[in-house]
Amino acid sequence: MIEPTSSRADTRLRIVDVAVRLLQQDGPAAVTTRGVAQGAGVQAPTIYRLFGDKDGLMEAVAEHVMAAFVAAKSEIVKAASAADLDPLEDLRVGWETQIDFGVDNPALFRLLSDPGRVMQSPAIRSGKQVLEARVHRVAVAGRLRVSEPRAVDLIQAAGIGTIQTLLATPPDQRDTGLPAAMYEAVLGQILTNPSKHAAGGSMAATIAFRAIAPGLDVLSESERRLLADWLDRVISAD
């Protein structure tokens, strides 16, 4: 008998929800095939049929959690853009949200930080796109002094390092000011103040122009690509 698609999807989601709960409450060791099957009200073979093995289940757990987290962040970015929220304030909110999520969900953070999973996960790629959108708004505002990709990489690297450092420290010994200090350090690397630094202001203007270049409809597609290439060369030569 072929299982209805809707029933199969519901069963899969129920199993993933149970696995997420066990992971959050008791850590990876608690996510056993038997425990998940019992919590979801299914037989163990059902898990193997739907996910292949425990690794497949953990992949589904990581994707499910990250997709929900990214969806929430995407709504925040849309609201910030619609409300014309200051791009730097929006970026700060994103940083704090990411740090809090990682510290509050250590098992999930470690699961999601697996380099192999990062490269293959659609949800994690979507999460990076949310950060890219935030950084793009900063660029359009004329505040970046490095390229958008470099700014994204610096923010990601600093965020992951901050979470790992906090998680590796006993809660009562953690430096609660570390996230804010790291954020300010990153801003010092990626931002410029045009009113005080003429050279930095020139680069910020170039980066801002690069940010809006793809939307210059007065130019042809090939002209926009050429312009973007020229601007990328100017930015990378700095």
Report pLDDT digits (tens) over 30-43.
888 889 999 999 99
Is residue 58 situated within a structural domain? Answer: no
Q: What is the pTM of this model?
A: 0.72
Asked whether residue 96 falls in the same domain as residue 196, the answer is yes
CA separation for the pair 61, 224 (Å, rounded): 41
Is residue 156 situated within a structural domain? Answer: yes
pLDDT (tens digit per residue) in 118-164 = 667 777 788 888 899 999 999 998 899 899 999 999 999 999 999 99
Asked whether residue 225 falls in the same domain as residue 190, the answer is yes
Task: Single out the residue of 135, 138, 118, 130 nearest to residue 71, CA to CA.
Answer: 130
CA separation for the pair 19, 61 (Å, rounded): 7
Task: Single out the residue of 101, 152, 110 nearest to residue 130, CA to CA.
Answer: 152
DSSP 2: P
CA separation for the pair 188, 174 (Å, rounded): 24
Asked whether residue 132 falls in the same domain as residue 30, the answer is no
Is residue 59 situated within a structural domain? Answer: no
Domain hosting 17: range is 1-52
Asked whether residue 84 falls in the same domain as residue 196, the answer is yes
Task: Single out the residue of 235, 177, 183, 175 nearest to residue 205, CA to CA.
Answer: 235
CA separation for the pair 98, 162 (Å, rounded): 10
Which CATH number belongs to the domain containing residue 21 in this structure? 1.10.10.60
Low-confidence ranges of the chain (pLDDT < 70): 1-6, 76-84, 117-119, 194-201, 237-238
